[in-house]
Amino acid sequence: MISNDKIIETLKLRFNGIFEEGLIEEIIRYGKYEKVPAGEYLIDIDEEIRDIPLLINGSIKVFREDESGNELLLYYLESGDTCAMSLNCCLQNRKSEIRAQTETESEVIRFPIDFMDIWMVKYKSWRVYVIESFNNRFEELLETIDSIAFMKMDERLHKYLIDKVKVTGDTCITNTHQEIASDLNTSRVVVSRLLKQLEKKGEIKIYRNKIEVLNF
């Protein structure tokens, strides 16, 4: 049971008007609170999912990996979100097909997957939340597919930087060029060249260990 009053208050404020009071109380009773540093995996590929993460504060990026080990960023999770793909794996009793990594220091509440079905029957607000999570992630996946299919790499890179600013709330990005390249499934050389072009256009400012996004 979650015992920290500040965490409980944050949880209630975050989901006030979204979850029924009884559901919030059950999350407090059965949930496990974790503060996770930036850069850590919450869920990995082929991992058996035993609990559902509910993001209270912070941001998480969700990847897909191909047979060669190349990663592609699918979408970000923000405060108040949960991972629809994890929910889907729970519903179908399958191992994880994605990798979820904290983008910033994050606060997460995990609860056993058994409650997934129990709450679907017991609480209308949970059913609505799960359906909306699927819908939101589906729309984001379509956006990712559209960017890959129809946008040039420089446009994808610019969109990636803007999305990261919106998710983290920070106009300065500390990811290395290689990390950005991995997220976009391209090469570091291409990313470095395109970043210089964006700088010449006045969209960003490149420093030694960070990138400042100027227009978003």
Q: For 13-36, how does the pLDDT look when each residue is reduced to its tens digit (9 = 90+)?
A: 889 889 999 999 999 999 999 999
- For residue 84, give the nearest of 130, 24, 38 by alpha carbon: 130
Domain segments of the chain as ranges: 5-149, 152-213
What pLDDT sits at residue 10? 86
Fold of 5-149: Jelly Rolls (2.60.120)
Position 160 confidence tier, pLDDT thresholds 50, 70, 90: very high
205 beta partners: 212
Mean pLDDT of the chain: 90
Question: How large is the average pLDDT for residues 58-78?
Answer: 86
CATH of domain 152-213: 1.10.10.10
- C-alpha distance from residue 147 to each of 61, 67, 159 (Å): 17, 22, 9
- For residue 144, give the nearest of 159, 131, 154, 130 by alpha carbon: 159
Q: For 79-125, how does the pLDDT look when each residue is reduced to its tens digit (9 = 90+)?
A: 999 888 788 777 777 888 889 999 999 999 998 888 988 999 999 99
Largest CA distance in the chain: 56
Q: Compute φ and ψ for 83, nearest 5 degrees.
A: -90, 115
Q: For 197-211, how does the pLDDT look when each residue is reduced to its tens digit (9 = 90+)?
A: 999 999 999 998 899
Q: Give yes or no for residue 67 having a pLDDT over 80.
A: no
Which of 124 and 6 is assigned the larger pLDDT?
124
Q: Give yes or no for residue 172 having a pLDDT over 90.
A: yes
Position 59 confidence tier, pLDDT thresholds 50, 70, 90: very high
Report whether 77 contacts 107 (CB < 8 A): no
Give percent of the chain with pLDDT exceeding 70: 100
What pLDDT sits at residue 85? 79
Q: Which residues contact 61 (CB under 8 A, 6 or more apart)?
A: 73, 75, 76, 77, 100, 101, 103, 183
Q: Give yes or no for residue 141 having a pLDDT over 80.
A: yes
What pLDDT sits at residue 152? 92
Report whether 68 contacts 132 (CB < 8 A): no
Question: How large is the average pLDDT for residues 55-67?
Answer: 88
